[in-house]
Every structure is written in C-alpha cells, then in structure tokens.
Amino acid sequence: MNTKLILALRVLLGILLIVFGSNKFIGFLPDFEFANPDAGIFFGALAGSYILKTVGLIEVIVGLLLVTKKAVPFALILMAPISVNIILFHATLDPANIGPGAFVFLVNAFLIYANWNTFKNLF
C-alpha cells in the first residue's frame, strides 16, 4: 500500500481532529448552522452536557497520537465509534452537511484497513 498516501491521510486526519476537538473547548470556529432545526436542538443538548467535551478530548488525544505516530492502531480504534456516530448524526439529522463527517469516517476506515495486520487478532 502507498505509504505516502497513508502518511498524508494519517496526518491530515490527526490535524482535523486536533482542530475540531480543541474547538469543543475553546470555541474559536464560528458556530455551525444546521439545515434541520432538530439537529441544532440535539447538538445543543450535547453541548450542554459533558458528552461534547469528552468527545473533544478524545478527538484531541487521537489527533495527537496520529500526528506523532504513537499507538496509531489504538488511536484508530478509539476514533471508530466517534466517526460512526458522526456519520449517523448527519445521515439522520443533517444530511446536507454529511461531507466532512463522511471524510473522517472514510479516512478512519481506510487507515484501519491499512493497519489490518494489527487488528487481525481482534476479529
């Protein structure tokens, strides 16, 4: 498999996760506008609880692990349920804005596939 592609996707995903995970704490990016008001209500409920901050912390940790190439398989598995939930949120409540979430999901899935030898024992 092309190692340059894997490196580029790993670092890109890591940087995205660091930026968007940090945003959940600092709020330096503008608020996102949802096409569906129900999506905004649900996201607001998540933001008002510990859930969004926990997800943000995990995203920052995973991003740092991916960028520094430390424990990459662990980071990918840790990110898997978050990326699935991102896809499910957008598919059910905000399909118009599914693009970035689909990118995170697909890159995470591709990187798991690229490291499949590490995961064989789990399955």
Q: Which residues contact 112 (CB under 8 A, 6 or more apart)?
A: 76, 77, 80, 119
Percentage of the chain with pLDDT > 90? 92
Q: Which residues contact 16 (CB under 8 A, 6 or more apart)?
A: 63, 104
If one counts the domains in the chain, the total is 1
Q: What pTM, to 2 d.p., does this model score?
A: 0.93
pLDDT tier for residue 106 given thresholds of 50, 70 and 90: very high
In terms of residue numbers, what domain contains 99? 3-122
